[in-house]
Amino acid sequence: MAKSTQSGSGDRAGMASLSPFELKDELIKAAGGGAVERPANLSMLNAGRGNPNFLATIPRHGFWQLGLFAMRESERSFAYMPEGVGGFPMREGLEERFEIFARENKGVPGISFLLGAVSYVRDQLGLNAGDFLYEMCEGILGSNYPVPDRMLKLSEQIVAQYLRREMIGKHPFVGDFDVFAVEGGTAAMTYIFNTLRENFLISAGDTIALGTPIFTPYIEIPRLNDYKLNVVNLEADVANGWQFSKQELDKLRDPKVKAFFLVNPSNPPSVKMDTKSLEYIAEIVKERPDLIILTDDVYGTFADDFVSLFALCPQNTILVYSYSKYFGATGWRLGAIATHRENVLDKQLAALSKEKRAQLHTRYESITTEPDKLKFIDRLVADSRTVALNHTAGLSTPQQVQMALFSLFSLMDTPDAYKNALKRLIRSRKQALYREIGIAPEVKDENEVDYYAILDMEYLGERRHGRELVDWILENTEASEMLFRLAKEARVVLLPGRGFGTQHPSGRVSLANLNESDYVQIGRAIRKLMDEYIERYNKATGKKSGTAK
């Protein structure tokens, strides 16, 4: 039977290869253009992108007040030259001058946070408060190159404490780890893939494993000519609460699999890996001590009692974290890479052949007198600036200051007021969406994070309407038809789940970037569209079993 083209989009075969983020642009065009006239006040609801519409205000207030204090210090060092020339802050007496500044601005938003941050750094972290203020003032002025280039000294310690709290929690963890501040999670991915290749830890023709569904670039990058990697997918099952079965995880036992990349909590199902799976992977790692793991844990801060794979397999795992979602800071481009100080990456570098070690000696000899001893994480720093520009490497210092302030805000928020407020916000949006679609709420799964919702047409459609209707729709529609119809007829934009490696036709809904009333409208639009397919099914088959409930 010929498939329908009711979407009005014509032949979409050419779009099948598009990334979901590029296809989103086509959906936006469908939502905003075409020959059909639309009321001027009918706005587009773009739930396709994960950029949140909330943000952390307190540490931002602190950032701006710190900037004013740093400017005062800069002008003070050059005796207030009227031509607008300032200088570096002076370390001597800085704490006392900050206390005066805070008293003068008592009650101004951000001041009490900064006072609390200085106290926390001194009393809880055991760092020198004056050194902290000096690093923050010099950093926020951006008047020096980042030194050390991997990350400012005290900022690294603060961010490490934040990662310990949010990614490791109460789980036993032996040893310390290094942190590299980077331009968001996307830069982290790019740097890691590149340095693994440049250092012969992965090569063309090698096999890696991906935990799917997964953020699309993890699917796309290995295919590029730069890498040409073979990929084994470990598929999480919607019917199993988006968890990996032991059978899927056992694929990691194959010695051909050099690395395992995953996003946890997952994107787009937004479900954290359960304890059983984490422990099972840790057992596999004991058999596969050579296995490299990359875990991208950007959504971990939205989960209840989150524990990263980095906590269970620290010596084998590269941790990637981004501040973008939790703090509403996608425009800041703040991310971090962490590696244990005793890790499999450095061991594999030391075990490379004489010829490969000689090549790498030549690659890094311009930046260190002992290139053979250069740690993997410091090779990331050098490679991020093509080695030759290593002396100018590092995330901009104002960005590092905001990262440190975000981290302190979370560390100081001991009742988790901010975290719990965000959880309530996104979960109420999910309830509104599902209620309007007509999907009966299930018992809350403790592993659900709810930053996104993946609307799996086969799983949810079969649960609500029966398998026969679902099979008829799959046979009579193009995979993207529903998404284009939602865009064109209801001006609702979702992303295709298939682009993230889901096995069934589906749509990803971000629950972070619109208001609750918008999700009510999206739910109603989806239900209306589904009812139309049911009506077509009934008319075509003469059956009534698919009637909406």
What's residue 364's pLDDT?
Answer: 98
Torsion of CA 43, 47, 51, 56, to 10 degrees: 80
Q: Which residue has the tokens 């500044």?
A: 101
What's residue 545's pLDDT?
Answer: 55
Q: Is 519 helix (H, G, I), strand (E, B) or coil?
A: helix
Share of residues in the chain with pLDDT > 90 (%): 72
- Cis peptide bond prior to 371, omega within 30° of 0: no
Band of residue 546 on the pLDDT scale cut at 50, 70, 90: low
Comparison of pLDDT for 228 and 480, the residue scoring more:
228
CATH architecture of the domain 13-50+417-541 equals Alpha-Beta Complex (3.90)
Handedness of CA 78, 82, 83, 84 (dihedral sign): positive
Return d(Cα 383, Cα 389) in angstroms, integer: 9
With vertex at residue 345, the alpha carbon angle to CA 339 and CA 351, rounded to the nearest 5 degrees, is 155
User: Is it the case that residue 488 has pLDDT exceeding 70?
Assistant: yes
Average pLDDT of 399-406? Answer: 98
What's residue 5's pLDDT?
Answer: 42
Beta-carbon count within 10 A of 243 CB = 21
Phi first, then psi, for residue 339 (nearest 5°) are -135, 145
Asked, colleague to colleague, whether 13-50+417-541 and 153-342+376-411 share their fold, the answer is no
Q: How many CA atoms lie within 13 A of 410 on its CB side?
A: 24
Average pLDDT of 198-202? Answer: 98
- The model carries a pTM of 0.92
With vertex at residue 50, the alpha carbon angle to CA 45 and CA 56, rounded to the nearest 5 degrees, is 105
pLDDT tens digit sequence for 231-281? 999 999 988 999 999 999 999 999 999 999 999 999 999 999 999 999 999
CATH architecture of the domain 153-342+376-411 equals 3-Layer(aba) Sandwich (3.40)
Lookup: tokens for 281:
């992977």
* CATH no. for 58-144: 1.10.20.110
Q: Of 302, 272, 273, 269, whose CA–CA distance to 425 is shortest?
A: 302
pLDDT tens digit sequence for 315-366? 999 999 999 999 999 999 999 999 999 999 999 999 999 999 999 999 999 9
Parse the chain into domains and list their residue ranges. 13-50+417-541, 58-144, 153-342+376-411
Band of residue 35 on the pLDDT scale cut at 50, 70, 90: very low
Beta-carbon count within 10 A of 53 CB = 12
Band of residue 68 on the pLDDT scale cut at 50, 70, 90: very high
